[in-house]
Amino acid sequence: MSISQEALFKIALNLEDPWYIKTIDFSAEGKQLDIHVDFEPGSKFPCAKCGNTGCSVHDTIERTWRHLNFFQFKTYIHCRVPRTICEDCGVKQSKVPWARKGSGFTLLMDSLIVLMAQYMTVTAIAEMIDEHDTRIWRVLQHYVAEARSNEDFSMVKSIGVDETSRAKGHKYVSVFIDLDESRVIHVCEGKDASTIGSFKDDLEQHNGSSENIENFCCDMSPAFISGIENSFPNASITFDKFHVMKLMNEAVDKVRREEQSHNALLKRTRYIWLKNPENLTANQNKMLTPLKSIRLKTMRAYNIKLALRDFWSYEYRKSAEDYLKRWYYWATHSRLDPVIECAKMIKNHWNGVTNYIKTKIDNGILEGTNSLIQAAKDSARGFRSTKNFITTIYLRTGKLKFNLPT
């Protein structure tokens, strides 16, 4: 049994009556396939606003949509879209089954774009399908917003927050992650206390409650601390151990830089002191060994750092606090100003640091998420707008459930 090409494309496009394929134009020279869709005379359609059935056609509007390529050929669907007369709503443009309202792409093309954008840059997608990237961004923003509108945060209890820049030296965004589900659930511009308020509003718009948040993990930013204390009264703050160790590493590096100015042995040794011993390369271990026998301020600072690292392995809070008190005494009597400054910073945030022993939460998951964000940022070579950057973060790290046609 043979089948006409019009009937074949009607099946492929999943068209149902009263829609049918009127004509098909193929240009090998122009590398383009044009499919013209029409509806049967006298057809009636549901009202696009209220859904009333049996509305008569008032007039039509010519529309065109980009469809999936037919092999290497660009494919377009053309149709005169009916505008119907509804007794209740007046004249309204009908919905078509192959595209969403206001889109210049078919639903299947939308689906392909969203799937590719989770692994590719928008620039690469635009080049591949030969479309301007602004059209791609509009598709992505629509589906991300739609997927997020269906999110349910009623079970969210533990949150990690950190900031990241859109591009080097550019605006920052704050990223909030559900630590139990390891997924980003909110992104907003800025890195001040207002970002915490933004997260609270978004949480409550998705069936969540500020009173249900039990734990917050963040750095020692005064803005984050004040925002959490004001907006999440039941939340316990745990300061991220990676941030605390980063402060300690910065103190060690300051000591090294000061000492290096009059000790040439410390030149080109920066990364030795920033790494943990088990992560040193064979060459770095070889460089470190002779330095251990020299009375170096940098070595003292390094040993204090390694001692602080041991704090995180304690199981019981009292034992951990006793250990941290001894470490604090050692650090503040080291006669190393950067180390003393770091120790006092930890003392000023004592509860948040020692809360780790109880909560065992940190932003390690968020650090991994940040790696994905940085990879996307680097591959895109920056984003023209913060809105696009935020859309990409949700796409890559939000674990969103998209309602895509197949």
| pLDDT given at position 229 | 94
Nearest partner of 190 among 207, 175, 209, 205, judged by Cα: 175
Residue numbers in the chain where pLDDT is lower than 50: 1
Same domain? For 227 and 370 the reply is yes
Same domain? For 52 and 118 the reply is yes
pLDDT digits (tens, 9 = 90+) for 157-210: 999 998 888 776 678 899 999 999 999 999 999 999 999 999 999 999 999 999
Ramachandran region of residue 142, left (φ > 0), alpha (ψ -120 to 50) or beta?
alpha
Last residue of a domain, one of 120, 145, 170: 145
Domain membership flag for residue 329: yes
Same domain? For 10 and 138 the reply is yes
Same domain? For 337 and 261 the reply is yes
Tokens 């949480």 label which residue?
203
Total domains, the chain: 3
| Under 8 Å between Cβ of 24 and 36 | yes
Same domain? For 122 and 227 the reply is no
| pLDDT given at position 292 | 87
Amino acid type, 148: R
Task: Determine the 3-state secondary structure of 68 from DSSP.
Answer: strand
| pLDDT given at position 10 | 81
Domain membership flag for residue 151: no
Task: Determine the 3-state secondary structure of 144 from DSSP.
Answer: helix
Same domain? For 50 and 100 the reply is yes
| Under 8 Å between Cβ of 173 and 187 | yes
Tokens 């907003």 label which residue?
188
Strands (E), 10-102: 19-27, 32-39, 56-70, 73-86, 90-93
- Angle (CA) 322 312 363, round 5°: 135
The pTM for the full model equals 0.87
Same domain? For 121 and 132 the reply is yes
How much helix, strand and coil, in percent to the nearest 5, is found in the chain? 45, 20, 30
| pLDDT given at position 1 | 45
Same domain? For 312 and 251 the reply is yes
Same domain? For 393 and 348 the reply is no
Same domain? For 138 and 163 the reply is no
Q: Where in the sequence is the domain holding 343, given as residue range(s)?
A: 241-359
Same domain? For 47 and 134 the reply is yes
pLDDT digits (tens, 9 = 90+) for 267-307: 889 999 999 999 999 999 998 998 988 899 999 999 999 99
| pLDDT given at position 3 | 65
The token pair at 172 is: 């920052």
| pLDDT given at position 55 | 94
- CA dihedral sign of residues 338, 340, 341, 346: positive
Same domain? For 9 and 135 the reply is yes
Nearest partner of 357 among 325, 320, 307, judged by Cα: 320
Tell me the Cα Rg of the chain.
30
Domain membership flag for residue 172: yes
- Angle (CA) 316 322 327, round 5°: 120
